[in-house]
Amino acid sequence: GLSLYFLAVFHRSSLAVAGLAASERFGISAAQLSTFVMLQLVVYAGMQIPVGLLLDRFGPRRILTIGVLVLTAAQVTFALADTFAVALVARVFVGLGDAMTFVCVLRLVTTWFPSRRIPLVTQLTGVLGQMGALVAAAPMTWALRELGWTTTYLSAASLGIVLLAALLLVVHDEPGSPRVLGAPLSWTTVRSSLAASWRHPGTRLGFWVHFTTQFSATTLGLLWGYPFFVRGEGRTPAEAGALLTILVLAVMVAGPTLAWAITRDPWQRSSIVLGIVWAVVAVWTVVLVWPGDAPAWLLVVLVVVVGVGGPASMIGFDLGRSFNPPNRLGAATGIINQGGFVASLLLVVAIGLVLDWRT
């Protein structure tokens, strides 16, 4: 399950260091470039609730299988695309396949581990999965420069074939006997499940935790980080790739630390989130008002603080798990997972529009 999430994060983040190459390959503007990520996030966020409901009905193994197939086909199409329209369709399906992974992996964690270990395992899943973004940073920069667009993305797509075989051989929905299908889906049961999940304050709190903590790191990691560091702050491509790598490393270090903190004192989850949000606001303010290009040390502080927001968003899932019964956990997780990606979508589009307006 973790390997599949790694793959999804890799494909999701593979455009982060290819923004300038994509602009040249397809002859597109900044607003059109942001459309790649915008549509990917629209599909990802829009599919969270349907995937959560399907997860409650069919279990994670079936949904993960479909997700890997969709991701692989989409990345092959993106590798071979020579027009903006074809590439756009490919990124839509990257978002669709991506949407089918994380909530399924969280369900596997909930099913296979005792409750006292779930916060730690959830954070470790998020942290280790983010290594996909690490692989999509400096190595992708090198591959695009040395191997070219098509070879780089076809090589990335080939990972899906290997992991699909591992999924079919190793992953099972739950220990012991084969999983029994959940209740059949109908408009009445869907509406009832979603309403019950959203009515609970724990679900709503989880949604807003995810909304406020994740979007800054996602926006930098998915699309605008590399152009911001190169064009906005005057850094070299190698320095920009290194900053994105530090961002991922910050996520990896912060995850287990936050897991330890919330396991030790679950009642402080909201206080921890508020502290992180204020820290992100403060460091962005300093970077943006700094006269001229921000110094390297300040950009390092930025990516480290922003990186902590990634694992902080996982606290939202812990809140949802704490306050929802197993039969609607998929729906609640889907609702919460929409938060950060809706926020990221709004910011990605806004940045593209502002850049086109100002240039």
Q: Which is nearest to 299 in space by CA: 344, 240, 347, 224?
A: 240
77: tokens are: 């199409």
Task: Give φ, ψ of 33 to 5 degrees.
Answer: -60, -40
Q: Encoding tokens for residue 58?
A: 């069919």
Q: What's the confidence (pLDDT) of residue 141?
A: 79
Query: What is the pLDDT of the chain when averaged over all its residues?
Result: 82
- Identify the pLDDT of residue 177: 55
pTM of the model: 0.69
Q: How far apart are CA 354 and CA 349, in angstroms?
A: 9
- Greatest CA separation for the chain: 63
Instruction: Give the Cα separation of 247 and 17 in Å (integer).
Output: 13
Q: What is the pLDDT of residue 186?
A: 61
Q: What are the residue boundaries of the structural domains of the chain, listed by start? A: 2-172+198-358
Give residue 316's pLDDT band: very low, low, confident or very high (50, 70, 90).
confident
Predicted confidence (pLDDT) per residue in 50-71, tens digit = 888 888 778 888 888 898 899 8
Residue 183 predicted with pLDDT over 60: no
Per DSSP, the three-state class of 32 is helix
Question: Exposed (0-12), middle (13-18) or buried (19+): which is 59, by Cβ within 10 Å?
Answer: buried
Q: What is the CA radius of gyration of the chain?
A: 20
Indicate if the pLDDT at residue 210 is higher than 70.
yes
- In tens, the pLDDT along 268-302 reads 888 899 999 999 999 999 999 998 889 999 999 99
Helices (H), the chain: 2-13, 19-26, 30-58, 60-80, 84-99, 102-112, 118-129, 131-135, 138-146, 149-170, 187-199, 201-219, 225-227, 237-264, 269-289, 296-312, 314-323, 329-358
Distance, CA of 287 to CA of 201 (rounded, Å): 35
Query: Given this structure, which CATH class describes domain 2-172+198-358?
Result: mainly alpha
Type of residue at 48 = Q
Q: How many residues does the chain have?
A: 359
Q: How sure is the predictor about 8, in pLDDT bands with cuts at 50, 70 and 90?
A: confident
Decide: 17 and 226 in contact? Cβ < 8 Å. yes
Give residue-wise pLDDT tens across range 190-207: 677 777 778 778 888 989
Residue % of the chain over a pLDDT of 90: 13
Q: Residue 5 and residue 64: Cα distance in Å, rounded?
A: 10
Band (pLDDT 50/70/90 cuts) for residue 25 is confident
